[in-house]
Amino acid sequence: MSEGIEWAIHCCTVLAVLPEGETLPAAKLAEFHGVPPAYLGKHLQALSRAGLVESIAGRQGGFRLAKSADEISLLDVVQAIEGEASAFQCTEIRQRGPAAVAPAEAYLTPCGIAAAMARAENAWQDELKSVSIADINQVVMAAVHPDQLAAGADWLAGTIQERSNS
Amino acid sequence: MSEGIEWAIHCCTVLAVLPEGETLPAAKLAEFHGVPPAYLGKHLQALSRAGLVESIAGRQGGFRLAKSADEISLLDVVQAIEGEASAFQCTEIRQRGPAAVAPAEAYLTPCGIAAAMARAENAWQDELKSVSIADINQVVMAAVHPDQLAAGADWLAGTIQERSNS
DNA sequence: GGCTAGCTACTCGGATAGATGGTGTCCGAGTCGACGTGG
DNA sequence: CCACGTCGACTCGGACACCATCTATCCGAGTAGCTAGCC
């Protein structure tokens, strides 16, 4: 699974605690997380295309959440980055080789293997669908060391201040 | 997800209906499924290393299941091919960047995002763990067209006969 | 006839190229805010 | 003092290289069975 997913989720959690109306550019998000700015921008574009974040161009521009944090599930983010295609792709190899006889009528029922894999993937998706960015933030707030939380909040406040001053 | 997983599972279902003591070489399995023989062999080696199938060298050699078909789950096959590493790898980017302060003590609790992803992956694994090769074969037997089933059985019987004659 | 040695053919197994997708970077189009100027 | 035009700087967005992994292939090591010769 792509590493960008972790970046994208973390970015959403940061954008979620942004003051109403404020915005944060990709470069600042990259600096906060210590990742390559340009590449992170690429993933943010994917989130934008999926309608999870809004992009504001020009000076004082940047990204902000397009929906409420509790309306964005982890599955939304994952699918925005990785695409909605299922991981397991059945190529119907049962229809190939010497044992394949009746092309059309014999294969009306779906491949049992594909069905089992689909059930597993649905279970995975259901689990991700049940967790929102807001939930993640709540867990992080409760679990992380207070100093850590304060450092993040300070940096964020300082960055916003700095941008509004320029 | 690798395409070889589909091949590997199909191969296991074929090996499961092999008469006791018989064996089937990779080339025949590839012919049956209409896939490249050498590449399929590579995946069968992975199954062998994982202890799911036994490999017999030399003339009249080939592959056969190392366990009973109901003791081999889809998860076993998937992990044999893809490796046991989880799809989502947390790189702890929360510990990077300007907001990271206390390296050791602040991060005792696991990352909330990684935890959520792990729960989802566990749900996926549990689903795959609950389905065995024997289950798959049972579903396929019931769902597939009788002609198809007969064609496969005939081909298999013919191949075994051919090999024992040579 | 029975046994043994050698041989042949067939099997897996790992080492070796090629293609596809993720990773990383760059520069251009567009936009907002600030500034200076004129009314 | 206010409105407008210009400028500048900053933002996203897509187009361009690079690299790792999956895909595909080949040839060599090893083994089982057959065959021929010998006792």
Which pLDDT value is given to residue B48?
97
Which pLDDT value is given to residue A12?
98
Residue type (1 letter), B133: I
Residues of chain A in contact with residue B140, where contact means CB-CB under 8 angstroms, are 112
CB contact under 8 A, B101 and A1: no
Residue B36 CB neighbour total at 10 angstroms: 11
Q: What is the mean pLDDT of residues A1-10?
A: 95
Residues of chain A in contact with residue B24, where contact means CB-CB under 8 angstroms, are none
Place of tokens 């050699």: B61
Tokens of B21: 């003591």
**Helix (H), strand (E) counts: chain B:** 7, 2
For residue B5, the chain A residue with the least C-alpha distance is A88
**Helix (H) or strand (E) run with residue B147 in it:** helix B146-165
- Sequence-separated (6 or more) residues with CB below 8 Å from residue A52: A12, A65, A66, A67, A72, A76, A77, A80
Among A39-43, A119-123, A129-133, B152-156, the range scoring the smallest mean pLDDT is: B152-156
Among A56-60, A62-66, B162-166, the range scoring the smallest mean pLDDT is: B162-166
What count of CB pairs under 8 Å joins A to B? 169
For residue B9, the chain A residue with the least C-alpha distance is A113
Which pLDDT value is given to residue B144?
80
Q: Does residue B134 contact residue B67 with C-beta atoms inside 8 Å?
A: no
CB contact under 8 A, A131 and B148: no
**Cross-strand pairs, A56:** A62
